[in-house]
A and B are shown apart, each in its own frame.
Chain A
Amino acid sequence: MNNAGANWGAPLADYPDAGFAKVMDTNLNAVFALTRDLVPALARAASADSPSRIINIGSMDGIHVPIVQRVPTFAYSASKAALHHLTKAFAVELGAQHITANAIAPGFFESKMTDHVFEHYLADIEDDCPLHRVGRPEEIVGILVYLASRAGSYTNGTVIPVDGGTSISKGKREWTL
């Protein structure tokens, strides 16, 4: 399960090359290299009835650019969109070896990464979410257990949003602009 990730926020004109590269390295390049190197081990443990699993943590930001205004995170969104597609490429490549690959695309959850955003924009974030709240930790755990278990053994190459419906909603504030 590729979960480790990084973020860098800055206005476009000031967005540093080093920041962009760092985010890409952590969120995309490292996932590719680690997964490639672990494929032999995953394949050894896999069978048609019990496929091995690759689960990548993507992001709602890789599906749409949130309406919520905040410090732009160009590299983060781009890296997560790329990670979603890399997941599909792995699924196609590795299916014949009984290895599945799927991604989760979380919306806003409480974490160190979102502390700053919640401090300033929590009301807007809740407004844009049909469930009118941010996610709870166990609401990411559930989908991971599903994907890792027998229940998820035919689910392959998907990107599953867990965002309270934010990415499919037009967003409340858009109607009033």
Chain B
Amino acid sequence: MSLFSLEGKVALITGSTKGIGKAIAQRMAEQGATVVISSRNQDACDEVAAEITARGNKAIGVACNINHKDQLQQLVEKTTAALGKIDVLVCNAALNPFFGKSQDIPDEAFDKIMQANIGSVHRLCQLVIPGIAESGGGAVVIISSIGGLKGTDALGAYAISKAADMQIARNLAVEWGPKNVRVNCIAPGLVRTDFAKALWENPDIYAATVKNYPLRRIGEPDEIAGAAVFLASQAGSFTTGQTLVIDGGGTIAS
């Protein structure tokens, strides 16, 4: 069997109706996993799940607003009721409602970012990891960002939340390693998604960004998906607590 096979595995991916999350779900399904598509809107979840099953792969859709703990609980309950277990958790859903200086961010926006981007990851890990451990082990992949590696005067609160993702991965890797649960982050650079549209659609921002990227272009969602498959599969079975940077070299160049 391929080192990258996910045959027989159940993978729950938050924020998976678009962008990076969708690419991860499609590629994990291609490797044999049954994937759970999740975002706020049930119709959108069902639509993506149908796209995947139409290709002969396995998927179901379960809507969830990650900001509510009871909905996270229901997401886990519905998944285990339908599929019996969870082997792989991908915490991908995140938001950024504010672009500007830390001095100017309203309390509500700051709290919302921390709640959605850190709180929900922490709580979902609490809800899911014991079950992963019970079934013999598995993997958690948290989608962080290179924003969490450097200072910024435009995305401060978002960057704090993304740096926190990396520490969550390190803490949980130490806490759950003895039970064979691995926890890692992926830190993408600028990727062509709706989430980052404001940054790549503007030709001036685009040009300024890729000028500093050694590969001279932004990333595509599929270029993040392969790393998630690696981390979730046997290929990644000795990798834990790490942050894998995928940014065409942007971070090491500047």
Contacts and interface: CB of A to CB of B under 8 A. Distances in A.
A75 interface: no
A94 B233 CA distance: 31
Interface in B137-195: 170, 173-174, 177-178, 180, 182
Contacts of B236: 139, 142-143
Contacts of A170: 174
Nearest to B252: A157
A142 B173 contact: no
A3 to B, nearest CB: 17
A130 B173 contact: yes
A116 interface: no
B235 A91 contact: no
Nearest to B137: A131
A117 B239 CA distance: 21
A168 B237 CA distance: 16
The binding surface of chain B is classed by DSSP as mixed
B239 to A, nearest CB: 5
Interface stretch (A34-42, A65-73, A95-103): A95-103
Contacts of B238: 107, 131, 135-136, 139, 162-164
Contacts of B230: 142-143, 146, 151
B246 interface: yes
A152 interface: yes
A132 B217 contact: no
A169 B174 contact: yes
A155 interface: yes
A160 B234 CA distance: 16
A170 B167 CA distance: 13
B16 interface: no
Interface string A151-167: 11111111011111100
Nearest to A164: B238
A6 interface: no
Contacts of B253: 91-92, 95, 157
A91 B252 contact: yes
B240 interface: yes
A22 interface: no
Given A91-B252, A132-B178, A154 B223 contact: yes
Contact of A157 (B4, B224, B251): B251
Nearest to B186: A155
Interface in A81-119: 88, 91-96, 98, 100, 107
B249 interface: yes
B242 A156 contact: no
A14 interface: no
A100 B249 contact: yes
Nearest to A93: B214
Nearest to B215: A95
B248 A95 contact: yes
A51 interface: yes
B174 A149 contact: no
Given A91-B253, A95-B214, A146-B227, A131 B177 contact: yes
9 contacts: A95-B216, A100-B249, A139-B235, A142-B3, A142-B237, A151-B230, A154-B224, A160-B242, A164-B239
Interface of A: 48, 51, 88, 91-96, 98, 100, 107, 129-132, 135-136, 138-139, 141-143, 145-146, 149-158, 160-165, 168-170
> 3 tightest CB-CB pairs across the interface, nearest first?
A95-B214, A151-B226, A142-B235
